[in-house]
Amino acid sequence: MLLDAQTLARLQGVKLRARAVMEGVLSGLHKSPHQGQSVEFAEHKEYAPGDELRHLDWKAYGKFDKYYVKRFEHETNLRAVMVVDASASMGYRSGALSKLDVATTLAGALCYLLVRQQDAAGLALMAGGKWKDVPPRASAGHLNVLLDTLEHTAPNGGTDLGSAADHLAEVLPRRSSVVVLSDLLDENQDALRRILALRQRKNDVSVFHLVDPAELTFPFDDPTLFLDMEGEGRIEVNPREIKESYLEEFGAFLASVKAACAEADVDYELVRTDDKLDDVLLRYLARRGRRR
Amino acid sequence: MTFGNPWMLLGALGALIPLLVHLFDRRRPRPHAFGPLAFVLRSQKRTASRLKLKRLLLYALRTLILLAIPIALARPELTRDAAAAQAVKGPAATAIILDASLSMRWSDGTSNFERARDEARDALKDLLPEEPATLLVCTQAPAAPPPPGFDRGRLRSLVDEARATYGAADLSRCLDMAARALEESPMPAKRLVLVSDMTAAAFRLEAPPPTVKGPTGAPVKPEVVLRDAAEGHEVLGNRAIVDLKVEPALQAGPRTFQFTFTVRNFGAEPVKDLEAVVRVGESTLAKGFVDIPPGGTTQKTLTVRFPQGGTVLGQVALAPDALVEDDRRSFVLPVPRALKALVVNGSPHATRYRDEAFFVDAALTAPGSPVEVSTRDAEVGLREDFSAYDLVLLLNVPAPGADEAEKLAAFVEKGGGLFISMGDRVNPDAYNQRLGAVLPRPLRLVRTSAERDDPDADTRSARLAQVSVEHVLFAPFTGRAEEGLVGARFYKYMLLEADNPGASGASQVLATYEDGAPAVAVARRGKGRVALLTSTVDRDWSDFAIRTSFLPLMQRFAAYLTGSLDEREEVRVRVGEGATLRPEGAQKVSAVRAPDGAEVSVKEQPDGSLVAGPVLEPGVYSVLGADGKVQPDLSFAAVLDPSESDLGRVPQDTLTAYFGEETVKASTGDADKPSVPLWTWLILAACLAFFFEGTLLRK
B27 to chain A: closest CA residue: A223
The answer on A49 and A10 residing in a single domain is no
Is the Cβ pair A187, B38 closer than 8 Å?
yes
The answer on A47 and A186 residing in a single domain is no
Is the Cβ pair B34, A99 closer than 8 Å?
no
In this complex, the residue of B28, B31, B43 whose CB is nearest that of residue A242 is B43
The answer on A106 and A227 residing in a single domain is yes
Q: Which residues pair with residue A85 across a beta bridge?
A: A126
pLDDT band at B254 (very low <50, low <70, confident <90, very high): confident
Question: Does residue A34 lie within any of the structural domains?
Answer: no
**What pLDDT is recorded for position B20?**
83
Collect all residues from B whose CB is shorter than 8 A from any CB in A: 27-44, 46-47, 51, 54
Which residues of chain A make contact with B49, given a CB cutoff of 8 A?
A: none
In this complex, the residue of B33, B34, B47 whose CB is nearest that of residue A241 is B47
Is the Cβ pair A250, B36 closer than 8 Å?
yes
| Rounded to 5°, angle at Cα B601 from B595 and B603 | 135
Which residues of chain A make contact with B33, given a CB cutoff of 8 A?
A: 92, 226-229
CATH superfamily of the domain spanning B339-561: Class I glutamine amidotransferase (GATase) domain (3.40.50.880)
**What value does the mean pLDDT take over residues B558-571?**
69
Is the Cβ pair A235, B39 closer than 8 Å?
no
Segments forming the whole domain that contains residue A64: 41-73
The answer to whether B343 touches B373, Cβ cutoff 8 Å, is yes
Q: Is the pLDDT of residue B650 over 90?
A: no
**What pLDDT is recorded for position B79?**
52
pLDDT band at B311 (very low <50, low <70, confident <90, very high): confident
B31 to chain A: closest CA residue: A225
**What value does the mean pLDDT take over residues B168-192?**
89
Residues B18-37 have pLDDT tens digits of 888 877 776 678 888 888 88
**What pLDDT is recorded for position B37?**
87
Residues B582-639 have pLDDT tens digits of 776 667 888 898 888 888 888 888 877 888 878 888 988 888 888 888 888 788 888 8
Which residues of chain A make contact with B52, given a CB cutoff of 8 A?
A: none
A99, A209, A235: which to substitute to probe chain B, counting the most B Cβ within 10 Å? Answer: A235
The answer on A137 and A57 residing in a single domain is no
A228, A243, A254: which to substitute to probe chain B, counting the most B Cβ within 10 Å? Answer: A228
Question: Does residue A35 lie within any of the structural domains?
Answer: no
In chain B, what's the furthest Cα-to-Cα distance?
158
B26, B34, B49, B51: which to substitute to probe chain A, counting the most A Cβ within 10 Å? Answer: B34
pLDDT band at B504 (very low <50, low <70, confident <90, very high): low
Do the two domains B82-193+205-228+651-675 and B339-561 of this chain adopt the same fold? yes
A216, A237, A257: which to substitute to probe chain B, counting the most B Cβ within 10 Å? Answer: A237
The answer on A180 and A162 residing in a single domain is yes
How many Cβ pairs closer than 8 A exist between chain A and B?
Answer: 88
**What pLDDT is recorded for position A176?**
81
A227 to chain B: closest CA residue: B33
In chain A, what's the furthest Cα-to-Cα distance?
82
Architecture of domain B574-639: Sandwich (2.60)
Which residues of chain B make contact with A225, given a CB cutoff of 8 A?
A: 28-32
Is the Cβ pair A99, B35 closer than 8 Å?
yes
Q: Which residue has the higher pLDDT, A116 or B488?
A: B488
CB proximity list for B408: less than 8 A, separation 6 or greater: B382, B386, B392, B400, B418, B435, B438
The answer on A188 and A55 residing in a single domain is no
Q: Is the pLDDT of residue B413 over 70?
A: yes
Is the Cβ pair B31, A225 closer than 8 Å?
yes
pLDDT band at B360 (very low <50, low <70, confident <90, very high): very high
CA distances from B44 to A130, A215, A238 (A): 33, 16, 9
**What pLDDT is recorded for position A18?**
64
The answer on A254 and A120 residing in a single domain is yes
Residues A268-285 have pLDDT tens digits of 999 999 988 888 888 888
**What pLDDT is recorded for position B428?**
92
Regions in chain A scoring below 70 on pLDDT:
1-42, 72-77, 174, 291-292
Which residues of chain B make contact with A224, given a CB cutoff of 8 A?
A: 29-32
Report the phi/psi class of residue A172: left, alpha or beta, with left for phi > 0 and alpha for psi in -120 to 50: beta
The answer on A267 and A173 residing in a single domain is yes
Q: Which string of b and e fits A234-251 if b means at least 16 CB within 10 Å?
A: ebebbbebbbebbeebbe
Architecture of domain B82-193+205-228+651-675: 3-Layer(aba) Sandwich (3.40)
Which residues of chain A make contact with B57, given a CB cutoff of 8 A?
A: none
**What pLDDT is recorded for position B194?**
92
The answer to whether B466 touches B525, Cβ cutoff 8 Å, is no
Which residues of chain B make contact with A236, given a CB cutoff of 8 A?
A: 29
Question: Does residue A174 lie within any of the structural domains?
Answer: yes
Q: Is the pLDDT of residue B667 over 60?
A: no
Q: How far apart are CA A259 and CA A238, in angstroms?
A: 31
Is the Cβ pair A220, B27 closer than 8 Å?
no
Least confident window among B138-142, B210-214, B382-386:
B210-214
Strand order from edge to edge, sheet including B664-666: B133-138, B92-99, B189-196, B223-228, B664-666
The answer on A222 and A203 residing in a single domain is yes
**What pLDDT is recorded for position B276?**
92
- Rg for chain B (alpha carbons), in Å? 41
Q: Is the pLDDT of residue B255 over 50?
A: yes
The DSSP string of A17-83 is: HHHHHHHHHHHHHSS-TT-S---SEEEEEE--TTS-GGGB-HHHHHHHSS-EEEEEGGGG--EEEEE
CA dihedral B125, B127, B133, B139 (to 10 degrees): -50
What's the CATH number where A123 sits? 3.40.50.410
The answer on A49 and A106 residing in a single domain is no
**What value does the mean pLDDT take over residues B247-267?**
82
Collect all residues from A whose CB is shorter than 8 A from any CB in B: 89-90, 92, 99, 183, 185, 187, 212, 215, 220, 222-230, 233-238, 241-242, 245-246, 248-250, 253
Strand order from edge to edge, sheet including B591-593: B573-574, B636-639, B619-624, B591-593, B599-600
Question: Does residue A125 lie within any of the structural domains?
Answer: yes
The domain locations on chain B are 2-25+37-75+681-698, 82-193+205-228+651-675, 239-336, 339-561, 574-639
Is the Cβ pair A253, B39 closer than 8 Å?
yes
In this complex, the residue of B32, B39, B44 whose CB is nearest that of residue A250 is B39
Q: How far is B6 from chain A (nearest CA, A)?
A: 40
Neighbours of B89 (CB within 10 A): 21
Q: Is the pLDDT of residue B82 over 50?
A: no
Residues B670-692 have pLDDT tens digits of 444 444 567 778 888 889 988 88
Is the Cβ pair A235, B37 closer than 8 Å?
yes
The answer on A60 and A179 residing in a single domain is no
Q: Is the pLDDT of residue B80 over 70?
A: no
Q: How far apart are CA A161 and CA B235, in angstroms?
A: 104
Instruction: Tally the domains of chain A.
Output: 2
The domain made up of B239-336 has a fold known as Immunoglobulin-like (2.60.40)
pTM for the full model?
A: 0.49
On average, the pLDDT of chain B sits at 85
Q: Which residue has the higher pLDDT, A29 or B339?
A: B339
In this complex, the residue of B27, B32, B42 whose CB is nearest that of residue A249 is B42
Indicate the residue type of A202. K
Which residues of chain A make contact with B37, given a CB cutoff of 8 A?
A: 226-229, 233, 235
Q: How far is B669 from chain A (nearest CA, A)?
A: 55
Task: For residue B595, say if its preceding peptide bond is cis, omega within 30 degrees of 0.
Answer: no
Q: What are phi and psi of B463, to 5 degrees?
A: -130, 160
pLDDT band at B397 (very low <50, low <70, confident <90, very high): very high
- What sign does the dihedral B54-B59-B64-B69 (CA atoms) show? positive
Is the Cβ pair B39, A229 closer than 8 Å?
no
In this complex, the residue of B32, B39, B51 whose CB is nearest that of residue A249 is B39
The answer on A178 and A122 residing in a single domain is yes
Q: How far is B31 from chain A (nearest CA, A)?
A: 4
Q: How far apart are CA B198 and CA B230, in angstroms?
A: 8
